Copies of this chain bind each other. A is one copy, B any other.
Amino acid sequence: MAFDATQRDQTRTECLVCPATRCLGRCGDGALQRSWFETLVTQRSLMPGNGALFRVGDALQDVYSVRAGCLKAYTVDADGNEHVRGFYLPGDLIGLDAISDARCRSTVVALVPSQVCATPLSQLRRMMRRQPRMADYVIDQASRELGQALALSGNFTAEQRLAAFLLHMRRRFDGDLHLPMSQRDIGNYLRLATETVCRTMKAFERKRWIRLFEHSPRIVDESAMRQVAAPVGLVEEDPSLAEAA
């Protein structure tokens, strides 16, 4: 909680609270950041199965920046079907799709123990005026999330969508592929029955494209996976980026 005064490289200004991850707090100069955290940001912890960050229909009070963990946004329609609208990892902003009418369009819960920083919407708008980098960051995040949604909303096969999802998740974890969410969640996200997720995963394993350790997949034949996932456009073409800096 106390500010870590350790100086990091100046090329990437980092958040004073969580230096390891990009998030809202990385924007702006140090003094402004400091006052921002002291006055505006409320940190919040969430445990899986222990209440939601917010629920469908709530008034959107805050935008959240994920500090740690993994969260999912979902809705339940009249027929009882769950629709997963997205997963959020450290650095992501939660609530961007609700800004336009200040009404939460999904319920957000933690899949693993998670922490988020809450910024009141009004303060966010104010900060965006004072700090251009903040505005750029919010726009970039919205743009990125929009691009993802449009990519996965395409008319692709189960193999294409799942391969794209696995590659995408692996990149989000810097080369390590963890799946904090259940196959049921993955299915509801990719518009697949859980059985189809399982079968497709097994099919990948049979083809020696992935290996499954304790239900946790590991990509073996990256080029094959990339080739299948390419049409989706969720992961870029370039196959040479597996290194962590």
Query: Chain A residues in contact with chain B, CB under 8 A?
Result: 75, 77-79, 81, 83, 85-86, 96-100, 105-106, 125, 128-129, 132, 135-136, 138-147, 149-155, 188, 191, 230-231, 233
- Of listed A75, A86, A141, residue having the most chain B CB within 10 A: A75
Q: Is the CB of A132 within 8 A of B143?
A: no
Query: Known interface pairs A150-B105, A150-B149, A154-B191. Does A96 touch B230 (Cβ–Cβ under 8 Å)?
Result: no
Asked if B129 contacts A135 (CB within 8 A), the reply is yes
Q: Which 3 A-B pairs have the closest CB atoms?
A: A77-B231, A153-B153, A100-B143
Query: Chain A binding site: helix, strand, loop or mixed by DSSP?
Result: helix
A153 CB, nearest partner CB in chain B, Å:
3
Complex: A100 Cα to B140 Cα, angstroms: 5
Within the complex, the shortest CB–CB distance from A186 to chain B, in Å, comes to: 12
- On whether the beta carbons of A153 and B152 are closer than 8 Å, the reply is yes
Contact: A150 with B99, CB < 8 Å? no
